Chains A and B, each alone.
Chain A
């Protein structure tokens, strides 16, 4: 059986940061990533990040991705690509399906001391008549196509949802050459930051607040979208329907943590809508209720890449400490600084609810361990 000290499931911003932090202290790390290239969703995030200038704010996600990969390389972090973790078992054994070709797979078992679940999140769907038509897709899917694969998924796009993902992806599709027909938001207010909305409105993009998607029309591809104003009881205001010619409808309806591995590992989960749904409870060290299993990034509650990076670092420091590579004074100092930065990132217009949810997650951990 392959041996390692720390195994990270998922090589996105959280997983890479956890690996870097631990490897810097001397821990032997293996990252398992299901994709052809590690970096998670960073390589489609071509915008400059918010945050503190001290920690890469103002840097584009793609550049942060390259930086993190380079650091892993410099630190000899082993990254397995095209490799999918299919099981987390007792005594820290992990089963990995390594894809060699279209038909060849190899099953490898790894014995590790510590596991970090950094599996990220998946997009929520919104169901409406016609939602399965080709041309109707996740906002993230459209972003992947335009920014990563550099193929436009469509030319006339209607975005459903005005959260930051919906707003940013609309902007980026426009940068790639698509026309944004409009953005539909069922709530009375725009959900994401106003600055992201203003980037679109000054290009003349209408934001239909208080509207919802009623239907996608088309045979082999969507060619029309029908939207309408919503009443407080979610029925449609009679006569408010608008039909828009589109070839693409993108759905930016939020994300939910990918918790399959945490569930398999027996970690206690809690449900909170500000975490994006079910997410594992964890302590101050990001360790879940299952000893030796840690969690970081969107898998521990959906936030942003900059918070994922900080949570990853927390895991890295805690694990290095636990394995004896960092003395507890030094580790405590590092952890404190990270928690302070996390608190800073969770301030502001959209931070209060998230801070509350993250607090609850810590409290539920304590309750579970006491009970």
Chain B
């Protein structure tokens, strides 16, 4: 089963497409992951990046390409991406925990420090996490960026807060 049948991207898909940051880079500090695998005529990721770390080019349907050395993991691109397909991961914290930052456009009541269940790309609860940061600036235009601290083994998997069904 692939992305087009299920809508569920996997890390393996991204790695295969050479679109996942290197382990080495993730260990150094926060870095963006562009989980955008189709040619969409769209380029706000490129223009929003203060460090010119994302390249789309003149043909706005090109896939975004990340320069992981230029990227500082600042999270600006997360709210800029109209497809909500940009994330920032960080494995530099410690050997046990890391963080993942993701866009969140739902009503919420959680606060910094709260423990929440974390969901993977398929919406399954895979671990517990702690809300580290909630950013909702004028520039992010009603797209909240949430940073979740989770066990390091789940940093490549967790992409949202688990939704009870």
Interface residues of A (CB under 8 A from B): 47-53, 57-60, 162, 174-175, 177, 179, 188-190, 193-205, 207, 209-210, 344-349, 351
With a CB–CB cut-off of 8 A, which chain B residues contact A351?
Answer: 39, 41, 61
Do A202 and B44 touch across chains, with their CB atoms under 8 A apart? no
30 A-B residue pairs with Cβ-Cβ distance under 8 Å, sorted by A, are A47-B82, A48-B44, A48-B141, A50-B42, A50-B83, A51-B60, A52-B42, A52-B43, A53-B44, A57-B43, A57-B82, A58-B80, A58-B141, A175-B106, A190-B4, A195-B35, A195-B38, A198-B35, A198-B85, A202-B123, A203-B119, A203-B123, A204-B165, A345-B41, A346-B41, A347-B39, A347-B59, A348-B38, A348-B39, A351-B39
Min distance, Cβ B113 to any Cβ of chain A, angstroms: 23
Min distance, Cβ A80 to any Cβ of chain B, angstroms: 32
Do B60 and A52 touch across chains, with their CB atoms under 8 A apart? yes
Mask of B127-143 contacts with A, CB within 8 angstroms, 1/0: 00000000000000111
Min distance, Cβ A306 to any Cβ of chain B, angstroms: 8
Interface 9-mer from B6-14, B18-26, B88-96, B146-154 = B6-14
Q: Is the CB of B105 closer than 8 A to any CB of chain A?
A: yes
Known: A57-B42, A193-B40, A193-B83. A198 touches B5 (CB 8 A): no
With a CB–CB cut-off of 8 A, which chain B residues contact A48?
Answer: 44, 82, 141, 143
Do A347 and B41 touch across chains, with their CB atoms under 8 A apart? yes
Q: Is the CB of B121 closer than 8 A to any CB of chain A?
A: yes
Do B40 and A190 touch across chains, with their CB atoms under 8 A apart? no
Give the docked Cα–Cα distance between A53 and B13 (Å). Answer: 28
Q: A57-B44, A198-B85, A203-B160 are in contact. List 19 more A-B contacts (CB 8 A).
A: A49-B82, A50-B82, A53-B46, A53-B48, A57-B42, A60-B141, A175-B107, A188-B5, A193-B83, A196-B83, A197-B7, A198-B8, A199-B83, A200-B7, A201-B6, A202-B120, A209-B5, A347-B60, A351-B41
Do B9 and A194 touch across chains, with their CB atoms under 8 A apart? yes
Do B48 and A198 touch across chains, with their CB atoms under 8 A apart? no
CB contact between A194 and one of B7, B44, B47, B120 (< 8 Å): that residue: B7
Give the docked Cα–Cα distance between A207 and B121 (Å). Answer: 13
Do A189 and B4 touch across chains, with their CB atoms under 8 A apart? yes
What is the chain A residue whose CB lies nearest that of B35? A198
Min distance, Cβ A22 to any Cβ of chain B, angstroms: 26
Do B165 and A177 touch across chains, with their CB atoms under 8 A apart? no
Q: Is the CB of B36 closer than 8 A to any CB of chain A?
A: yes
Do A344 and B61 touch across chains, with their CB atoms under 8 A apart? yes
With a CB–CB cut-off of 8 A, which chain B residues contact A193?
Answer: 38, 40, 83
With a CB–CB cut-off of 8 A, which chain A residues contact B122?
Answer: 201-202, 204
Q: Is the CB of B65 closer than 8 A to any CB of chain A?
A: no
Mask of B106-127 contacts with A, CB within 8 angstroms, 1/0: 1100000000000111111000
Mask of B56-85 contacts with A, CB within 8 angstroms, 1/0: 000111000000000000000000101111
Q: Is the CB of B17 closer than 8 A to any CB of chain A?
A: no
With a CB–CB cut-off of 8 A, which chain B residues contact A188?
Answer: 5
CB contact between B61 and one of A179, A207, A209, A348 (< 8 Å): that residue: A348
With a CB–CB cut-off of 8 A, which chain B residues contact A190?
Answer: 4-5, 7
Which 8 A/B pairs are nearest by Cβ-Cβ distance?
A: A204-B123, A197-B7, A195-B83, A348-B61, A347-B61, A348-B39, A58-B44, A53-B47
With a CB–CB cut-off of 8 A, which chain B residues contact A196?
Answer: 83
B5, B7, B8, B165: most-surrounded residue (chain A CB, <10 A): B7
With a CB–CB cut-off of 8 A, which chain A residues contact B85?
Answer: 195, 198
Min distance, Cβ A287 to any Cβ of chain B, angstroms: 26
Give the docked Cα–Cα distance between A360 and B12 (Å). Answer: 40
Known: A48-B82, A344-B60. A204 touches B163 (CB 8 A): yes
Q: Is the CB of B97 closer than 8 A to any CB of chain A?
A: no
Min distance, Cβ A156 to any Cβ of chain B, angstroms: 11
What is the chain B residue whose CB lies nearest that of A179? B165
Min distance, Cβ B27 to any Cβ of chain A, angstroms: 25
Give the docked Cα–Cα distance between A207 and B85 (Å). Answer: 18
CB contact between A207 and one of B6, B37, B41, B143 (< 8 Å): that residue: B6
Give the docked Cα–Cα distance between A57 and B83 (Å). Answer: 11
Give the docked Cα–Cα distance between A189 and B1 (Å). Answer: 10
Give the docked Cα–Cα distance between A174 and B105 (Å). Answer: 10
What is the chain B residue whose CB lies nearest that of A49? B82
Do B121 and A201 touch across chains, with their CB atoms under 8 A apart? yes
With a CB–CB cut-off of 8 A, which chain B residues contact A59?
Answer: 141
What is the chain A residue whose CB lies nearest that of B47? A53
With a CB–CB cut-off of 8 A, which chain A residues contact B142?
Answer: 60
Min distance, Cβ A109 to any Cβ of chain B, angstroms: 42
Min distance, Cβ B164 to any Cβ of chain A, angstroms: 9
Give the docked Cα–Cα distance between A189 and B84 (Å). Answer: 21
Known: A47-B82, A50-B83, A174-B106. A202 touches B40 (CB 8 A): no
With a CB–CB cut-off of 8 A, which chain A residues contact B121?
Answer: 198, 201-202
What is the chain B residue whose CB lies nearest that of A53? B47
